[in-house]
Structure 1
């Protein structure tokens, strides 16, 4: 029996090694104690490490990976090498000077103009993608300074060339200045940057308003077919209702529809989404006086938290522009990207801090139909299907990756930044990658998302591993019988 036990132990060690090798097909292992988990059919590799809080990322037309390193306030550029499907960084240089750049990044379709943002300004440069250098710096939008939510995400419209969308969040958890249009707080606007040297816009007073009453919408994307603009919102923390603490599962995070830039009419365009008085429900059963509320319904802030609420009620909130979908409270969505066909919206969830049990810390996908609308209804709690997550959320945030920005290449592979660990991951759906084609920056992924399975790397383990597993089970049973 001792010999059988020793044999089992030896095979167990061999089996563990085999699984470890197959789950680390390319590049370094994730930092520290991070243990990612992937949906079946997907693979993961670490492409870059040692970055300083990487946030927004994109691929230029020459295939360089551009990264906003929030910790250093710059945009860095990285050449990418690929060998048998393994992608790694070649050479890295800083592209921009240190201007406290912290999140937003965009590039013109021809690759000649780079845009990036600090908490106060949006900048542009002439960009040489071969040399990875910039020149002719200009300030396009200014007067956005504020505390708390300081990201200014950027989106260049493909349907309305020359329009640059800029998001701006609130200056506190409950920012009552956001109730005034003139404050510029919690608003999303578009600016004409066709001639980037002619005008510097004031965010508060200039631009085309797409929506207001949007607490902190960080991720923003344009549907490739319809041209519809969608954003994902980080909602409030530490809320109460009628004196009851409801913060654990309320309010919901949101997917908001903002209308179009291509001339398509939308009655609610530029409308009020309700903040700072209104929030979307997730845990309806935990809300006092919930008879008229369902998942996604907007409810009014507790008067005890807002002495200035001007008697805003649930009835008032029901008249504001509702979200299109909602997600579990406190997951903190930070980016949204559509695939080339528009059938999927990928969303990164940075992860919670205002909750007893951590949630988020993952990248998920939401199904869309051909008309550019989410497949699921507002009341759905299962619209987002997890693809890339952390195995043990109890270890978060300290020993978890925290996804922020995404960039999708021509093969449907998704680069994902993790600011907490200073990494860039690459997530691949093998079926989509093998069947896709297109320009270096086209975004093509497969439709449909299998259930998440624990483990990293190739879900189809090598035959030798499966044989060892069978032998291990046989020997273990023999040991127990004897």
Structure 2
């Protein structure tokens, strides 16, 4: 029943996609796939041949900076309009050997931050020339042997001295993360001016913005209302009372963390339940009376807590998504009426799901849909043949808007960057 309900949801989502059409291409750029686009959207292929492009950022001069996981480098793509699409004028490596995923620019655009398994590094950066200064490690002590090597980064327009760094769990069920002292499965904020003067250990420094979050790979700030948001990859191989319920549970999660510059942010420091409490997606397969989409429950083989702890003393998400679809980034459009989410796609469910970019509509700084909604996602870009995934399809990872409202999307599996118009 859970599989059928999820498949029905996918069919409903994809039914509003327009037929496949050949995308207009830049000279010498030939994309491997032809995505299906949601109504009102079109796309072009910006670049191919990259080495596992992960997160992206657009600098103050309109250039695209790309974190390449495959080479642990940063590439700078100088862009140029060509008719009704944008193309790459030049492509150069500006940083090497310091990143596997995360990248961010300070609010003034003059400091570049990258992250890898062990640390965060800062560089002076000139958007006009592409000149990058000598790198300095500013946050250390994050290396662990385990499942989640990404260290998502974000900065804030509303709190410009703040750097936000996420660190995931050491494995699927990381029992030590029931304590903040583990320094894992959490989001922390750091004063940029302080860490530039004196580097800190992640576990010892900074302030906890949120914890009990299994693996945060994407974070962003609402550009109008200033709210801070994250998308989370939840637990695999879930069992409850000896039953295998992993195919459609737990839900992936969009969480709200308040305004970073608020004097009294009531969301700061909240615990979201992991590893003892997980959010439901397919409530029927869970089989707990009264459980709603997003409600937290305790599965098998996790650190013990009372059931009331999950329902009363842990924070749940603001919206929830299909199990195992792996949201890896989130970005708002300029007027904050929509948030776009990159779903990298599943490995832990059958049939596969995800591998798409979706939109969630917002009003007054919050999603328009209720927390229990299963229909909040609106199709933007999907694979035309999801059956070919994960090895022969595009897998969205990073998102970045430019000042013209164009949305850049990286695909690490295919080494490509797409541009979505109409976002």
Query: Could you state the TM-score of these two structures normalised by the residue count of structure 1?
Result: 0.81
Secondary structure at the counterpart of residue 246 of structure 2: coil
Equivalent in the alignment of 2:377 = 384
Structure 2 residue 330 is matched with structure 1 residue 336: yes
Q: Is the 8 A contact 1:138 1:196 kept in 2?
A: no
Secondary structure at the counterpart of residue 160 of structure 1: coil
Matched length? 401
Taking the aligned partners of 1:426 and 1:342, their CA distance within structure 2 comes to: 19
1:17-416 residue pairs with structure 2 within 5 A?
23-27=22-26, 28-31=29-32, 34-99=33-98, 101-146=99-144, 147-194=146-193, 197-288=196-287, 290-302=288-300, 305-306=301-302, 309-310=303-304, 312-319=305-312, 320-370=314-364, 372-416=365-409
Secondary structure at the counterpart of residue 318 of structure 1: helix
Residues 176, 195 of structure 1: alpha-carbon distance in 2 compared, 3 angstrom cutoff: closer
Q: Is the 8 A contact 1:238 1:354 kept in 2?
A: yes
Equivalent in the alignment of 2:4 = none
Structure 2 residue 418 is matched with structure 1 residue 420: no
Alpha-carbon RMSD across the aligned residues, in angstroms, is: 1.5
Q: Is the 8 A contact 2:247 2:323 kept in 1?
A: yes
Superposed displacement of residue 127, structure 1: 1.0
**Which structure would you say has the larger Rg?**
1
Superposed displacement of residue 159, structure 1: 0.9
Taking the aligned partners of 1:314 and 1:297, their CA distance within structure 2 comes to: 12
Superposed displacement of residue 384, structure 1: 1.2
Secondary structure at the counterpart of residue 363 of structure 1: strand
Q: Is the 8 A contact 1:210 1:270 kept in 2?
A: yes
Secondary structure at the counterpart of residue 363 of structure 2: coil
Q: Which shows bigger deviation, 22-31 or 412-421?
A: 22-31
Q: Is the 8 A contact 1:55 1:404 kept in 2?
A: yes
Q: Is the 8 A contact 2:211 2:271 kept in 1?
A: yes
Cα deviation 1:373-404 (Å, max 9, x = unaligned): 11111110011111101112111111110000
Taking the aligned partners of 1:51 and 1:261, their CA distance within structure 2 comes to: 34
Equivalent in the alignment of 1:432 = none
Secondary structure at the counterpart of residue 177 of structure 2: helix
Q: Is the 8 A contact 2:319 2:371 kept in 1?
A: yes
Q: Is the 8 A contact 2:101 2:152 kept in 1?
A: yes
Q: Is the 8 A contact 1:169 1:187 kept in 2?
A: yes
Q: Which shows bigger deviation, 226-235 or 415-424?
A: 226-235
Taking the aligned partners of 1:24 and 1:191, their CA distance within structure 2 comes to: 42
Secondary structure at the counterpart of residue 293 of structure 1: coil
Secondary structure at the counterpart of residue 325 of structure 2: coil
Superposed displacement of residue 264, structure 1: 4.6
Superposed displacement of residue 195, structure 1: 5.0
